[in-house]
Copies of this chain bind each other. A is one copy, B any other.
């Protein structure tokens, strides 16, 4: 699936819109930071050679208000945090360490050059690589770009996703379901999951239950969207319209996966150039979110240029016997708690594909291979971490 997933193009965003975006290409410092020697404290700019002497204060260097005068032998300048170190000075004495008498300041003995100020280039050297392409922009990364004077940053475009629910049993949330009907909860759960993964989402609502209106709706949405995500309607039932539609629009590469929850699952490319892809997720709520985690999220991250596509993992010790499925890899949902220096994983209870309570509040997914053996309580396995447990 990832080999069929394109990396999206580059756009430039303002600093106000940069948060969470993924840098397209490395950023290199064009000039040093700080650009001038800058005081780290409030105090006096002096020459270290004048240590222990009483000096005449010739003026002040405040942040943004540099002092024109040079500091020569026997003189000092009052300096504030962020102020330019005046020419001639090679040391800043903290205000707590001096004694003052009118225009005269007595400074301690044994001062050393280079103390209490940030030298030119101390934070960034000109030409230094600052951020790598594929990095997600958080507060510090945005601050760095801003400090380098970059008001616009090159980032990969966010994937545009058209999201559609399918199934004759669905009603809009809040309407009273009739016999056999259920609320269309997947739409809202997947909307959250898609946004969390960085997508821009267009909601198509509940799919028409006739082939031709469905086809028109999807074709219209694909004019704009990079990805079509559907939920429901990909089991082997006779009423499923999604898979035939995807087959008619492009190439269905995967029509079923040996995954629990989530056996019914479709992946398709939707045009000759492979620039649009489709995921048909199962209708059961847990199945749709788990297949989203395992298959869709990494693809959306690839589209955005993320250096890392997968969730982080940590070793966890199972506090339960993980019973395997005979022929499907199972992603069991667990909560984590600290025990000593380790993490202990407890099952969230019944792992039914319809039971969202098995995923709400889950901290991790534990991958249980198919077969006869399962994983015994007390074993340590590598778990996909969704969220770390709160500090107790």
Residues of A at the B interface (CB closer than 8 Å) are: 15-16, 18-19, 33-36, 38, 40, 42, 61-66, 80-84, 95, 118, 122-124, 130-131, 135, 137-151, 167-170, 173-174, 176-177, 179-193, 195-196, 203, 232, 235-239, 264, 283-286, 289, 292, 307-308, 310-315, 341-342, 350, 352-357, 359-362, 380, 385, 388-391
**With a CB–CB cut-off of 8 A, which chain B residues contact A264?**
81
Bound Cα distance A340, B188 (Å): 39
Verify B180–A65 contact, CB threshold 8 A: yes
Verify A140–B16 contact, CB threshold 8 A: no
Verify B169–A16 contact, CB threshold 8 A: no
In the complex, which residue of chain B has the Cβ closest to the Cβ of A168? B64
Verify A147–B237 contact, CB threshold 8 A: no
Partner of A188, one of B42, B64, B143, B188: B143
**With a CB–CB cut-off of 8 A, which chain B residues contact A15?**
173, 188, 191
State the main secondary structure of chain A at its contact with B: loop
Bound Cα distance A342, B123 (Å): 31
In the complex, which residue of chain B has the Cβ closest to the Cβ of A353? B40
Bound Cα distance A183, B143 (Å): 10
Partner of A138, one of B95, B118, B192, B385: B192
Verify A307–B140 contact, CB threshold 8 A: no
Which of the listed residues A61, A196, A315, A391 has the most CB atoms from chain B within 10 Å of its own CB? A391
Partner of A388, one of B182, B190, B237, B314: B314
Verify A16–B191 contact, CB threshold 8 A: yes
Bound Cα distance A177, B84 (Å): 13
Verify A64–B139 contact, CB threshold 8 A: no
**With a CB–CB cut-off of 8 A, which chain B residues contact A196?**
19, 138-139
**With a CB–CB cut-off of 8 A, which chain B residues contact A149?**
173-174, 176-177, 183
Tell me the number of copies of this protein. 2
In the complex, which residue of chain B has the Cβ closest to the Cβ of A283? B82
Partner of A283, one of B81, B124, B135, B350: B81
Beyond A19-B196, A40-B352, list 14 extra A-B contacts (CB 8 Å). A16-B188, A64-B168, A64-B169, A65-B239, A84-B179, A84-B180, A122-B355, A123-B354, A139-B359, A140-B285, A140-B289, A140-B362, A143-B185, A308-B390
Q: How far is the CB of A382 from chain B (nearest CB, A)?
A: 9
Bound Cα distance A337, B267 (Å): 34
**With a CB–CB cut-off of 8 A, which chain B residues contact A362?**
140
Verify B388–A189 contact, CB threshold 8 A: no
Bound Cα distance A138, B361 (Å): 9
**Which are the 8 A-B pairs with shortest beta-carbon distances?**
A143-B189, A64-B169, A64-B168, A146-B185, A312-B388, A151-B174, A308-B390, A63-B169
Verify A19–B308 contact, CB threshold 8 A: no
25 examples of A-B residue contacts, CB within 8 angstroms = A15-B188, A16-B191, A18-B192, A19-B195, A40-B352, A61-B180, A65-B180, A80-B239, A81-B284, A118-B352, A122-B354, A122-B355, A123-B352, A138-B192, A139-B192, A140-B361, A140-B362, A141-B361, A143-B185, A144-B357, A144-B360, A146-B189, A151-B173, A310-B390, A312-B391
